[in-house]
Amino acid sequence: MKNCITICLSLVFIVLAAALCRGQSDQGEIQITRPVSELGNTKPVPVSIEGFGPEVTEILKFDLYVQGFTFVAPDAAQYQISGSSAGDVVGRVVDRFAKTTILSRSYNGASVRRQAHAFTDDMVLAITGKKGIAQTRIAFKVEASSGNGEIYVADFDGHNAQAVTHDGVIVSAPSWVPGRSALYYNSYKLGNPDIFYHNLSTGERHVIAHYSGSNISPAASPDGSRVAMIMSRSGSPNVWVANADGANPRKLTSTSEDSSPCWSPDGGWICFATKMRERRMLAKVPAGGGEVQALHTPGAPNPTEPDWSPDGKWIAFTLQAGEFDICVMPADGSAPPVILVRGEDPSWSPNSRTLIYARRTGGRYILSLLDVYTKQVKDIRQISGSDSEPAWAK
């Protein structure tokens, strides 16, 4: 009996010791991706920054903040970021818990801003194992008080903005062709809501949908070979799919009031907003044609403007219930949506963590960035007018 008690006590000690060691190990581990219940509730990663000039410090803090980092004193940081920006940017990142240097590099051959963005991306990759977003681009609509507008492209933070169109008409819904410097968008240049394809490298553009009625909301497939759109050529606005040049259009839905198509990352499905049984809802349809399937959004009535995350896990959308809110839910419908922030028209970044969206303030729209897990928000640099309908290049 004595030996049995001794053995049992030894086992208990081993289990407790293992649990204690595991707890100590967890203290030095930052979890970047959390379950659905943690959307908007995750603690940001503590870092410190020192040694850089004011401009580079501001850029680094902006870039990191919208990817889930917060800034503390060096002795409270898990990651200590240091360097200089007198001429070229030189940066170093030390993991204070592991007592190791995880990144040390100098940057040159570009503007200080671009060097700082490159350093951010290298830091995010070194810390999280995922690519950063600081060197990505966005497209959006800038609308004047007259209602006319132009399509713009810019760095993800709103800097280096350039007008793509100069037509002085109603424009909307820019959509990137994945992996290419090209856009689809809607324009009234020819007096009708038509869909244009625009090569940003050459400036060439042409109409791909110019049918009677509405031709709106283009969305390129992940491989760029097809384009989904909303057309009313058969009466009701429905989801259609065509070749990238607009040839061979095929109607996929016969539902009511369809809008805002987006693709699953594997190109197999198209998610869209629609009206079924007198209720606004989200649905999806096979991209090759087939039965429409409703996507339930419990607690989030009147959903619209869906966007499927590049990793395939999430669908962000706009909730219309008096005000407009940004919601995120699992793409497989395994959990209810989470309401994150007031705004509309969300678009995922390539890292499937940050969203760009439009929010109304002072009688106009501005664009903001949201880190989905921490709910940290930053406004991007604005263009004069009302900036809305953002699209993130993938």
Q: Which residues contact 59 (CB under 8 A, 6 or more apart)?
A: 113, 116, 117, 120, 157
- Residue-wise pLDDT tens for the chain (394 aa)? 434 333 333 333 333 333 333 333 333 333 334 478 789 899 999 999 999 999 999 999 999 999 999 999 999 999 999 999 998 999 999 999 999 999 999 999 989 999 999 999 999 999 999 999 999 999 999 998 888 999 999 999 999 999 999 999 999 999 999 999 999 999 999 999 999 999 999 999 999 999 999 999 999 999 999 999 999 988 889 999 999 999 999 999 999 899 999 999 999 999 999 999 889 999 999 999 999 999 999 999 999 999 999 999 999 999 998 899 999 999 999 999 999 999 999 999 999 999 999 999 988 999 999 999 999 999 999 988 899 999 999 9
15 located within any domain: no
122 and 149 housed in the same domain: no
21 located within any domain: no
176 and 285 housed in the same domain: yes
97 located within any domain: yes
Domain end, chosen from 94, 109, 128, is at: 128
Compute the distance between CA of residue 209 and CA of residue 184 in angstroms, rounded to an integer: 11
279 located within any domain: yes
Smallest Cα–Cα separation from 392: which of 168, 137, 83, 212? 137
Asked whether the beta carbons of 314 and 330 are under 8 A apart, the reply is yes
Q: How high is the pLDDT of residue 30?
A: 38
Asked whether the beta carbons of 195 and 173 are under 8 A apart, the reply is no
Strands lying side by side in the sheet with 256-263? 256-263, 269-276, 279-286, 293-295
Q: What's the number of domains the chain is made of?
A: 2
Q: Which residues contact 121 (CB under 8 A, 6 or more apart)?
A: 131, 132, 133, 134, 135
101 and 154 housed in the same domain: no
Strands 194-199 and 338-342: unpaired
Asked whether the beta carbons of 257 and 278 are under 8 A apart, the reply is no
The pTM for the full model equals 0.89
Q: How high is the pLDDT of residue 38?
A: 84
189 and 240 housed in the same domain: yes
Domain end, chosen from 98, 128, 158, is at: 128
The dihedral built from the CA positions of residue 131, 389, 36 and 42, taken in this order, carries a sign that is positive
244 and 183 housed in the same domain: yes
Compute the distance between CA of residue 184 and CA of residue 5 in angstroms, rounded to an integer: 74
379 located within any domain: yes
Q: How high is the pLDDT of residue 19?
A: 37
Q: Which residues contact 15 (CB under 8 A, 6 or more apart)?
A: none
13 located within any domain: no
264 and 287 housed in the same domain: yes
172 and 191 housed in the same domain: yes
213 and 114 housed in the same domain: no
Question: In this predicted model, what pLDDT tens digit does every residue of 76-106 receive, in sequence order?
Answer: 999 999 999 998 999 999 999 999 999 999 9
Residue 331, domain extent: 137-392
Residue 2 burial class via C-beta count within 10 angstroms: exposed 0-12, middle 13-18, buried 19 and up: exposed
Compute the distance between CA of residue 276 and CA of residue 280 in angstroms, rounded to an integer: 7
145 and 252 housed in the same domain: yes
Q: How far is CA 247 from CA 205, 238, 243, 262, in A?
A: 16, 17, 5, 19
213 and 282 housed in the same domain: yes
**373-376 long-range contacts, CB within 8 A, separation 24+:** 373/32, 373/33, 373/34, 373/38, 373/39, 373/40, 373/41, 373/42, 373/68, 374/40, 374/42, 374/43, 374/44, 374/68, 374/70, 375/40, 375/41, 375/340, 375/341, 376/44, 376/65, 376/66, 376/68, 376/70
52 and 189 housed in the same domain: no
26 located within any domain: no
257 and 152 housed in the same domain: yes
47 located within any domain: yes
Smallest Cα–Cα separation from 103: which of 118, 86, 88? 118
Q: How high is the pLDDT of residue 339?
A: 96
Compute the distance between CA of residue 180 and CA of residue 289 in angstroms, rounded to an integer: 26
Q: How far is CA 381 from CA 148, 354, 368, 369, in A?
A: 21, 17, 9, 11
Smallest Cα–Cα separation from 243: which of 274, 275, 278, 208? 208
Q: How high is the pLDDT of residue 256?
A: 87
Asked whether the beta carbons of 212 and 205 are under 8 A apart, the reply is no
CATH code of 248's domain: 2.120.10.30
Strands 45-50 and 79-84: parallel
Question: In this predicted model, what pLDDT tens digit does every residue of 272-330 receive, in sequence order?
Answer: 999 998 899 999 999 999 999 999 999 999 999 999 999 999 999 999 988 999 999 99
Written as one letter, the residue type at 360 is R
Query: Helix, strand or coil for residue 180?
Result: coil
Q: How high is the pLDDT of residue 15?
A: 33
Domain end, chosen from 109, 128, 147, is at: 128
